[in-house]
Structure 1
Amino acid sequence: MSADKLKIAIYSGDIPSTTFIENLIEALSEQEFEVYLFGKLRRKVNYKENIKLFPTPQSSLRLIIFVILEGAKLFIKNKSKFNKTIKQLKNKNKNKKSFVRNLGFILPVLNNQPDIFHIQWAKTVNLNYELYNLLDCKIAVSLRGAHINYSPLNDPELKKAYEIYFPKTDGFHAVSKAIAGEAVKYGADKNKIRVIHSSVKDEFLLSNAIRKNRNDIFEIISIGRHHWKKGYHYALDAMNYLKEEGFKFNYTIIAQGDIPEEILFLLNEYRLNDHVKIIKGMEHVKLMEKLKSSDLLLLPSVEEGIANVALEAMSSGVTTLSTDCGGMNEVIHNGENGFIIPVRDPKSISGKIMEISRSDPETLLNISLNALDTIKTEFSREKQKREFSEFYNSLVDG
């Protein structure tokens, strides 16, 4: 590899990371970049040659040995940087265990500095603020969902960290215009924010939309972790209205984690157990099969950036119904390529579901065609690759 390749660190804390971050890593690896991954190695992954891993050990003994070796490297390379690092982390960490863990994170970064350190989760700005004092490279931060929309509202310490370090950040990647606007409230320079939408893998794209055979029972699906912001309780309120109307449906929620008590209560209160099924996670291939077999993806969220599951549904020919939250109206145009309803409005959800179920197949086919065209035009892998390349090059050239 040539020495002039731009070195980009993609940092989420875990190797591998979430699906959409792994998609970004894969997209960058297809370009003239060297990609550095720091963090905890959760499982072995076969990456391309231009992706370099610098994992931090998790066991205590291996971590101590790792810190000693990495510390020696930094001391030999840059004694003043080593001393500065030790001093700052001693002041930051209240006990030896957290001090060693912190060293295990920062030392490999300092020994293998990239040209750009791209933080994937904004909360890292608070957890590892030493990056701003110790790195000699550009720092970029991704602005995604909860970390921007409501976490700083409930966490004064996080809000303060954003207000201190956002103005010092060299560039921001926002998943939607709505989230970009939220970050400005905490001191992010709007001129340094680049909105780059997530992409859908080419293999998930239909070559064309498919007219579905309508069954007597309308199949509805929601996908996403159990969290109040996902709005599943509003969805269950809506399912109760549908049941009272005598509407024939099945509703499947696929969500990681334990089912909240509120959801269990509503299932029993509304006697929905014959209509609603909750599945605790599913591998992605099977998840996509389940999604494609559904008549409707329902996104009842209170807050979102742009939900990746909505993009996958639209790329798969599945009609999509979303609340008007976050950046969802940047991808779904009501009645054209999907449907938008107000947030926290179960009556609107149930009413729109019945309306969609009664729509003629030709209308829904045209909506699916428009949705597919939206994904191919605005959320393609090639578009994402081009825009990230422009973003990174602008940081080092600026």
Structure 2
Amino acid sequence: MKKRLQIVIFDGSFKTTSFIKRLVTGLLENHNVSIIGFAENEPSPLKNVTYRALGSADKPLRLFTLSIQFALKALLSLGKPALFFKSLQLLASGKRKQLQQHNFDIAVAQIQPDIFHLQWPSLLPWCESLLLNPRTKVVLSQRGYQNNVRPFVTPENLSYLKNMYPKLDGFHSVSKSMSATGDSVFTATHKIDDVVYSGFNFSNLQFQEDYDTSTKLQLLSIGRPHWVKGYIYALQACQILKTKGILFHYTIVGAKGNEELVYRIHEYGLERYVTLADKIPQEEVYRLMRQQDVLLFPSIAEGLPNVVVEAMAIGLPVIATACGGVEELLDETTGVIIPTRDAKQLAAAVISFTKTSMTTINHRRLNARKHVELQHSEQQMVMGMEALYYKCLES
């Protein structure tokens, strides 16, 4: 029987993503889990999880209060007066970042984790001293912008990661594509890098049996209005659809008020065709998906997009660009894939969809549901992460 692990999830915040919450819930069955973050405003904390707040530099009074608590833990729980007096020195100097780092060091010393799971590369600077501790194995998740975009547009970041990655004990990649991207930063024969797909609770993602298309095609995108999401190409595609007389309406959730997109909508004469909506809670996202005809995913770079998994699970047809892990989700039997940065092909795919028989559409929808149920179950995610953790401990 495998040993029960002490696992720390370091997210930078207690407002953890749905992926982390589902992972932690699964891990709690066999392991002890702590979450370390700077903020303390987790609205729905998980039961049986230990939360360790390090304090926010933006709230100095609370930071100092927490630092006093950490100083007492260092003295009374750890029996390390040197750490206690260092806390007092930092409190006297008012050095907030150093206080946060010291609180971090004390928290880790108190927990003594077997596995320290970093969720983002931007958190690596806080863990440099931890990487010198042979007892704790440090694992980094590779899953988004900080892995597949930032290093390649910021030379200083790439240089830092090239220096730090060889010191890590293991990597968790959300897709095969993300793993390959990570290899372009660091690769070695002994490198531990497991692809573990995000798991979903499919009981909360009921399949829409009675799907039908609208007379005016309802197109949907969901996500922050960042250039990497490719919304400019989607709007250019909408302009083409308009000139060809296609009846449609396009909604982008999470992009309300974005100046560049508002400007483009005006430039292309799409005021009556496009709505930029505000962010909405997850359950409202699912309800909205059931009211739409197609999910447009025009992104330029991704890890493995949760929104595509969710649409496939619900039964919303997907037209997506071939970026990141999308090709590990979609093929001609489950959806439509087009090249990135190609408004003409995106428009052509939408037009083709309007001419596709409902029999073919429903066949793709059912195949999509089956595919994500197999590849993205919560059980496979938890088992995959446990296997990665033990592999790192045994290496």
Q: Secondary structure at the match of 1:21?
A: helix
User: Do structure 1's residue 367 and structure 2's residue 353 form an aligned pair?
Assistant: no
Q: Secondary structure at the match of 1:41?
A: coil
CA distance in 1, matches of 2:81, 2:193: 33
CA distance in 1, matches of 2:82, 2:300: 45
Q: Secondary structure at the match of 1:15?
A: coil
2:272 to 271, 274, 278: 274
Q: Deviations over 1:120-156 (max 9, x none)?
A: 0122114543332367411000001111111112223
Tell me the residue number matched to 2:141: 142
User: Do structure 1's residue 20 and structure 2's residue 24 form an aligned pair?
Assistant: no
What pairs with 1:278-289 in structure 2 (closer than 5 Å)? 278-289=276-287
Tell me the residue number matched to 1:384: 381
What pairs with 1:305-316 in structure 2 (closer than 5 Å)? 305-316=303-314
Q: Which amino acid aligns with 1:24?
A: L
CA contact (8 A) 2:72 2:84 kept: no
CA contact (8 A) 1:138 1:395 kept: yes
CA distance in 2, matches of 1:302, 1:45: 33
What pairs with 1:71-86 in structure 2 (closer than 5 Å)? 71-75=71-75, 77=78, 79=80, 82=83
CA contact (8 A) 1:110 1:135 kept: no
User: Do structure 1's residue 343 and structure 2's residue 340 form an aligned pair?
Assistant: yes
CA distance 1:23–1:180, shift in 2 (3 Å):
same
Tell me the residue number matched to 1:202: 202
- How far is 1:171 from its partner? 0.8
What pairs with 1:1-398 in structure 2 (closer than 5 Å)? 5-29=4-28, 31-39=29-37, 40-49=39-48, 51-58=49-56, 59-75=59-75, 77=78, 79=80, 82=83, 96-126=95-125, 128-133=127-132, 136-189=135-188, 191-206=191-206, 210-255=209-254, 259-333=257-331, 335-398=332-395
Task: Give the superposed CA RMSD.
Answer: 2.5
Q: Deviations over 1:220-239 (max 9, x none)?
A: 00001110000001000000
Worse-superposed segment, 180-189 or 349-358? 180-189
Q: Which amino acid aligns with 1:376?
A: E
CA distance 1:386–1:128, shift in 2 (3 Å):
closer
CA distance in 1, matches of 2:44, 2:208: 34
Q: Which amino acid aligns with 1:317?
A: G
CA contact (8 A) 2:74 2:81 kept: no
Worse-superposed segment, 152-161 or 191-200? 152-161
The alignment covers a number of residue pairs equal to: 386
CA contact (8 A) 1:115 1:138 kept: yes
CA distance 1:360–1:106, shift in 2 (3 Å):
same
CA contact (8 A) 1:122 1:144 kept: no
- How far is 1:83 from its partner? 9.3
CA distance 1:234–1:47, shift in 2 (3 Å):
same
CA distance 1:204–1:254, shift in 2 (3 Å):
same
Question: TM-score of the superposition, structure 2-length normalised?
Answer: 0.91
- How far is 1:331 from its partner? 1.0
Question: Aligned residues: percent identity?
Answer: 28
CA distance in 2, matches of 1:84, 1:326: 48
- How far is 1:6 from its partner? 0.8
CA distance 1:103–1:144, shift in 2 (3 Å):
same
- How far is 1:75 from its partner? 4.9
Structure 2 unaligned blocks of 5 or more: none
